Amino acid sequence: MTPIPALVNPKMLIWARKKRGFHIEGVAHKMNIPVERLQKWEAGEANPTINQAKKLAEIYKRPLSLFFLDEPPTDFSPAMTDFRRLPSSNLQQDLSPELRFEIRRALEQREIMTELTDAESGIFKPANISIADNPEAIGKYIRKRLGINWDAQQQWRNTNALNKWQNLLENQNVLVFHMSHHHAHRVDLKEARGVSFLFSRFPVILLNGADKSSVGRIFTLLHEFTHLLLNTPGVCDLRQYLHPDTKHHRIEQFCNHAAGAALVPQNILLAHRVVKDHHSPEWADDDIEQLASDFSVSREVIVRRLLILNRTTLTFYRDKRKQYQTEREEYARHSNQRHGAPPYDRMILRNQGKLLVRQVLAAYHDNAITLTEASRYLGAKIKHIKKIEHTLFFS
């Protein structure tokens, strides 16, 4: 039986590929076809079959119907040139297809949120601060703005501290999403640990789900929140800059410092029983781990705070960073064998964010949208909606 050709618009094939960030050779490899055949499709000299068009749609993460449009749809993705790139990367290098997709998905989720709420909802006001300010003072400001105190923070040691911090930011009308942790679509941590977008309504923080450390994502969350307060959103890898030599590096250093000060306040750390009677620049691993547990942060954040507060040396800090990096790499090599995916309902809440999920479910119960629409907005199967709702409100 002769395959049925798909009478696609070649302009749309080109548009979808470029928006996804793929080179033509990479797509041809994924399609298992010669590059010349794909070039003919994009030139309008030949047409893919229906099945081939469906596979292209899967690769580009677009609906098949897109290929038959006369013009590209309005796209929610901002200009990539507005993003700050990683310090180790070529400034002109395009973002990876995986990161482009996660950015587009996050902004589409935000668009759903704005459509389901009135124009007065979700207002966010950046702070009147700059990197010329004292980051220790900004850390105090963040804690005050979020309404967090030490007694409450201490209670998070044996619970999910990441959820607690995320809830506080959602109370500030910040949408917090997670990128996919699935290996096939995973964004490399070296490219981005976090992304932030500032809007007057419902700004967005996007955390990299490939970071299996919840305390690592907590730091990223506060780092990106500092970016929103500074009105300097972008793509970050959270690299530490001991000697920043560009404005970008100084901003990153400031956000790292302020995030650390918010998570581990100076006065509380210095008054901690492990620290107040300790007079050596060398710290035992057990003491560092105890402090990291009490503050629900990584060991590296603790050692960095001790360095900033002149309670240890740069040599000790560098040695510990190297040790922790080695341990993380070793952990990563074996983590896939030890950990499965979270339950489906929790994965939806994690990736979509409680703020959005709550609003979609409210719209469904108010008969503003159908159950099918709610399912589509959440990227969840209809049969799981009740379980997602139960987990959202009762766990």
pLDDT class for 183, splitting at 50, 70, 90? low
What are the structure tokens assigned to 311, written together?
Answer: 């309670």
Residue pLDDT, tens place only, 370-379: 999 999 899 8
Residues 6+ apart with CB under 8 A from 110: 76, 175, 197, 199, 202, 204
Beta strands in 106-224 (DSSP E): 175-178, 194-197, 204-207
What's at 366, amino acid-wise? D
pLDDT class for 92, splitting at 50, 70, 90? very low
**Tell me, what's the pLDDT at 81?**
33
Q: Residue 86: pLDDT above 80?
A: no
Q: In sequence order, which ranges of 61-134 are alpha helices (DSSP H)? A: 97-115
Q: Residue 148: pLDDT above 50?
A: yes
* 59 in Cβ contact with 31 (< 8 Å): yes
pLDDT class for 157, splitting at 50, 70, 90? confident
Name the least confident of 147-151, 236-240, 253-257, 341-345. Answer: 236-240
Q: Residue 295: pLDDT above 50?
A: yes
| Nearest CA among 306, 276, 302, 277 for reference residue 288 | 302
What mean pLDDT is predicted for residues 125-148?
A: 96
> Mean pLDDT of all residues in the chain?
87
* 1-63 classified as CATH 1.10.260.40: yes
* CA–CA separation, 204 and 194 (whole Å): 10
pLDDT class for 336, splitting at 50, 70, 90? low
Per cent of the chain over pLDDT 90 is 53
* Other Cβ atoms closer than 10 A to 321: 15
Name the least confident of 122-131, 158-167, 370-379. Answer: 158-167
**Tell me, what's the pLDDT at 236?**
83
**Tell me, what's the pLDDT at 230?**
94
Q: Residue 358: pLDDT above 70?
A: yes
Q: Residue 79: pLDDT above 80?
A: no
According to DSSP, residue 123 is labeled: B
What are the residue boundaries of the structural domains of the chain, listed by start?
1-63, 125-336, 344-394
pLDDT class for 231, splitting at 50, 70, 90? very high
Name the least confident of 157-166, 241-250, 292-301. Answer: 241-250
**Tell me, what's the pLDDT at 196?**
94
What mean pLDDT is predicted for residues 191-209?
A: 93
3-class secondary-structure state, position 284: coil
**Tell me, what's the pLDDT at 361?**
95
pLDDT class for 158, splitting at 50, 70, 90? low
Q: Residue 333: pLDDT above 80?
A: no
What mean pLDDT is predicted for residues 53-76?
A: 80
pLDDT class for 87, splitting at 50, 70, 90? very low
* CA–CA separation, 221 and 247 (whole Å): 21
Beta strands in the chain (DSSP E): 175-178, 194-197, 204-207, 235-236
* 27 in Cβ contact with 59 (< 8 Å): yes
